[in-house]
Every structure is written in structure tokens, then in C-alpha cells.
Amino acid sequence: MRKIILVILIIVLSGCSKQFAENKPTIKPKEYKPSIELINSTVKIVSDNPEQQSIVDDNLMDSIGFVSLKYDFILKNNGDKNYKVSQNSQTNESDAGTITLTIEPTPELKAFASEVTGVNLFSEKNNGGSFSFTPSILGPYKKGHYSIEYILGPIEEIPEMAISPDKEKLTELQKKATKANLVIYYKNEEIQKFELNN
């Protein structure tokens, strides 16, 4: 009799354990996100001379070809993983481990840049500016130098492009250019935003 009761008890407890296991909520592991620090940022109106000299501060208007608005950043990876650094705001599955950088202008900067250049300077159709980097892979606890550059036009009129704004407008654009954010994306999700006018 005792054996029968013991078998029944084991069966009941086994059924309860199975039901508890089935109803136990699934705990998803917390997804790891990069931790990127903005160490320094500068914004300048530059020429396409090899030295990329400032034309507003150094008065090189007579010796340049193309004029650009250039954002330079020093970033530090505070995590323990490698990240490829890109500029496209949208990535796909093959871009796992990629962080992307984008300039997000304030409405004031966006409107003024459009006024002086005649185009939506910061739009995706304008390719989001050209991108340069050192290095392309940002290692754990390492720093890297990254630049986003927007061509404003040639200093002399050419058929293919509107001429660059005059020096007065360029000077004003450089003053307003820090009214923007550097936005960092990971897996198409915004993970960090830095105000450049701080």
C-alpha cells in the first residue's frame, strides 16, 4: 500500500514540475550595446588643398578649388568588443558589429545651410556627406579619428555645380555649424547622441 501511495505521489510531483517548467517565463539575455565616448569635436569650413586648411580663419579664398563643411571627431570605444565604423544610418544583417555616425542638424542650421547652398545639405540624397576614418575598426578601449564632410561648391563657377557661397555666408555657416548632434546607431537603433555646441 505504501508503495502505491509513493508511486502516486511521485507521478503528481512530476506533473507539477513539468507544468511549472512550461509556465516559467523565458528570460531573454540583455542585449549588449556599444559604449562610445566623444572625446573631441571640431567644425570648420575648409578647402580641398592637401592640408585641408581653414578658409574662414586663414583667408585662403583666392587659392582653393572646392569648399566644404567638415566635422572632425575623436571617439573612444569604452567596451570590450571591436566595432566597424560606418556612415550609413541603415545597416543590414551582414553589418553586425557596425556602428554608424550621422550628423543631425537643428532646424536652424538645416534651414540656413539650405538657404546658402540651395540644397538640403544634410539629406540622404546628398549622400550624407563624404566619410573618412582612422581606423575603420574601433578596438576595445581604443580611440579613432572620424570625419564627415559636406561639399558646399567650387570657388569658381563650373557648369556641373553651383558656386560656393561667399566668405560672409561661409563665416556665418561655420558659426552655426555646431548647432547639430552627432548621432550613433547600432543595428539601426539610435544608441547615443552628442550635442556639438557644448
pTM: 0.73
Ordered DSSP codes for 80-148: SS-EEEE--S---GGGTTEEEEEEEE-HHHHHHHHHHHSS-TTSGGGTT-EEEEE-SEE-TT-EEEEEE
Q: Dihedral sign for Cα 58, 61, 65, 71, please.
A: positive
Taking CA atoms, 119 is separated from 115, 158, 176, 182, in Å, by: 8, 17, 17, 21
Pairing between β-strand 98-105 and β-strand 130-134 as defined by DSSP bridges: unpaired
CA of residue 62 relative to chain centroid, distance: 34
Going from N- to C-terminal start, the domains of the chain cover 36-195
The confidence score (pLDDT) of residue 62 equals: 47
Of 48-62, 78-92, 166-180, give the range with the top mean pLDDT.
166-180
Q: Is the pLDDT of residue 39 over 90?
A: yes
- Tell me which residue of 156, 102, 107, 105 sits closest to 129, measured CA to CA: 102
Instruction: Give 45 or 19, the one with higher predicted confidence.
Output: 45
135-148 residue pLDDT tens = 788 999 999 999 99
The confidence score (pLDDT) of residue 143 equals: 94
* Mean pLDDT, range 21-38, rounded to an integer: 66
Instruction: Give 131 or 110, the one with higher predicted confidence.
Output: 110
Of 24-28, 94-98, 137-141, give the range with the top mean pLDDT.
137-141
The residue to which cell 566644404 is assigned: 68
